[in-house]
Amino acid sequence: MSKIMIQGTGSSVGKSILVAALCRIFKQDGYSVCPFKSQNMALNSYITLDGKEMGRAQVLQAYAAGLEPEVYMNPILLKPTSDKRCQIIVNGKVYGNSTAMQYHNMKLEFKDMLKEHFSDIESRFDIVVMEGAGSPAEINLRDRDIVNMGMAEICDAPVVLAGDIDKGGVFASLAGTMLLLSDDEKRRVKGTIINKFRGDVEILKPGLDMLEDIIKIPCLGVVPYFYLDLEEEDGAVEFNKKITAPIDIAVIKLPHISNFTDFDALKSEDDVSVRFVETPEEFGDPDLLIIPGSKNTIEDLLEIRKNGIEEYIKRYAGHGIILGICGGYQMLGRSLKDEYKTETNIEMIKGIGLLDIDTIFEKEKVTTRVNAQSIHELNTLDGLRKIDIHGYEIHMGTCAYGEDVEPMFKILSKNDKKVDLEEGAMNKNGSIMGTYIHGIFDAAEFREYILNNIRSLKNIKLKRSNVYEDLRESNLNKLADIIRNSIDMNKIYDIVKIK
Condensed to tens digits (0 to 9), the pLDDT of residues 308-332 reads: 999 999 999 999 999 999 999 999 9
pLDDT band at 233 (very low <50, low <70, confident <90, very high): low
How many CA atoms, within 13 angstroms, populate the side-chain half-sphere of residue 297?
Answer: 32
pLDDT score recorded for residue 154: 96
Residue 282 sits in the same domain as residue 306 = yes
Taking the C-alpha atoms of residue 6 and residue 240, their distance in angstroms, rounded to an integer, is: 28
Pick from 263, 342, 364, 277: nearest CA to 81: 342
Q: What is the DSSP letter of 238?
A: -
Return the HEC string of 337-370: ECCCCCCCCCCEEECCCCCCEEEEEEEEEEEEEE
Among 176, 210, 230, the domain boundary falls at 230
Q: Of 256, 326, 395, 399, which one is the catalytic site residue?
A: 326
The answer to whether position 476 is within a domain reads no
Torsion of CA 198, 201, 202, 207, to 10 degrees: 90
Any residues with CB less than 8 A from the CB of 312 and at least 6 apart, and which?
A: 280, 283
Angle (nearest 5°) at CA 338 between 336 and 341 = 150
Task: Spell out the residues 6+ positions from residue 301 whose beta carbon is closer than 8 angstroms to its own.
Answer: 310, 331, 336, 349, 351, 352
The partner residues of 324 in beta bridges, in order of sequence, read: 291, 434
Same domain? 165 vs 277:
no
Confidence check: pLDDT of 394 > 60 = yes
Note whether 496 and 127 are within 8 A (CB): yes
Residues 6+ apart with CB under 8 A from 88: 76, 77, 78, 94, 95, 96, 97, 98, 103
Burial of 483 (0-12, 13-18, 19+ CB in 10 A): buried
CB 121 within 8 A of CB 133: no
Categorize the per-residue pLDDT at 268 as very low, low, confident or very high, splitting at 50, 70 and 90. Answer: very high
Q: Choose among 266, 270, 303, 307: nearest CA to 288.
A: 266
Looking at the fold, whether 243 and 190 belong to one and the same domain comes out as no
Specify whether 389 is located in the same domain as 421.
yes
Q: How confident is the model at residue 82 (pLDDT cuts 50, 70, 90)?
A: confident
CA–centroid distance for 469 within its chain: 16
- Between CA 153 and CA 231, with CA 122 as vertex, the angle to 5 degrees is 85
Out of 207, 230, 253, a domain closes at: 230
- Residue 187: per-residue pLDDT: 97
Residues 161 and 255 in one domain: no
> Residue 185: which CATH number?
3.40.50.300
* Per-residue model confidence (pLDDT) at position 341: 81
Please indicate, yes or no, if residue 478 is contained in any of the structural domains.
Answer: no
Q: Give the three-class secondary structure for 147.
A: coil
For residue 113, which of 87, 74, 148 has the smallest C-alpha distance?
A: 74
Helix and strand counts by DSSP (H, E) for the chain: 15, 30
- The answer as to whether 477 is a domain residue is no
308 and 398: one domain? yes
Confidence at residue 236, expressed as pLDDT on a 0 to 100 scale: 53
Verify that 112 and 249 share a domain, yes or no: no
117 is known as an active-site residue: no
* Closest alpha carbon to 43 in 327, 432, 433: 327
**Beta-bridge partner residues of 367:** 394
Mean pLDDT of the chain: 95
| Residue 109, CA atoms < 13 Å, CB-side half-sphere | 9
Backbone angles phi, psi at 159, to 5 degrees: -120, 140
496 falls within a domain: no
Q: How confident is the model at residue 235 (pLDDT cuts 50, 70, 90)?
A: low
Domain count of the chain?
Answer: 2
pLDDT recorded at residue 266 = 96
Per DSSP bridges, beta strands 417-423 and 189-197 are unpaired
Q: Is 128 exposed, middle or buried (0-12, 13-18, 19+ CB in 10 A)?
A: buried
Q: Are 23 and 33 in contact (CB under 8 A)?
A: yes
Does 499 fall in a domain? no
Position 237 confidence tier, pLDDT thresholds 50, 70, 90: low
Would residue 104 show up in a list of annotated catalytic residues for this protein? no
Q: Does residue 340 lie within any of the structural domains?
A: yes
Q: Is a pLDDT exceeding 80 seen at residue 499?
A: no
Distance CA 106, CA 64 (A): 32
Per-residue DSSP letters for 195-232? EEE-S-HHHHHHHHHHHHHHH---EEEEEEP---S---
**pLDDT tens-place string over residues 136-166:** 999 999 999 999 999 999 999 999 999 999 9
239 versus 204: the higher-pLDDT residue is 204
Put simply, whether the predicted model's pTM sits higher than 0.85 gets the answer yes
- Residue 222: domain span: 2-230
Per-residue pLDDT, 358: 97
Q: Give the amino acid at 464.
A: R
Do both 7 and 35 map to the same domain?
yes
**Same-domain status, 209 and 277:** no
Is the domain of 326 the same as that of 409?
yes
- What are the C-alpha distances in Å from 313 to residues 100, 249, 322, 332, 467? 35, 14, 9, 10, 31
The span from the CA of 43 to the CA of 285, in Å, is: 28
pLDDT band, very low/low/confident/very high, at 234 (cuts 50, 70, 90)? low
Per-residue confidence band for 486, with pLDDT thresholds at 50, 70 and 90: very high
CATH of the domain at 384: 3.40.50.880
Q: Is there a single domain that holds both residue 256 and residue 197?
A: no
* pLDDT at 342 exceeding the cut of 90: no
- pLDDT per residue over 424-477, tens digit each? 999 999 999 999 999 999 999 999 999 999 999 999 999 999 999 999 999 999
In a domain, 392, yes or no: yes
Out of 236-240, 311-315, 411-415, pick the least confident.
236-240
Per-residue pLDDT tens digits for 363-386 = 889 999 999 999 999 999 999 999
- In a domain, residue 381? The reply is yes
The reply to whether 332 and 401 lie within a common domain is yes
Among 202, 230, 258, residue at a domain's last position: 230
**104 Rama sector, left if φ>0, alpha if ψ -120 to 50, beta otherwise:** alpha
pLDDT at 498: 84
Do the Cβ atoms of 322 and 431 come closer than 8 Å? Answer: yes
- Write the CB contacts of 494 (distance below 8 Å, at least 6 apart in sequence): none
What is d(CA 433, CA 355) in angstroms, rounded to the nearest whole number? 8
pLDDT tens figures, 94-133: 999 999 999 999 999 999 999 999 999 999 999 999 999 9
User: Reading across the β-sheet that carries 2-8, which strands appear in turn?
Assistant: 33-36, 127-131, 2-8, 159-164, 189-197, 219-224
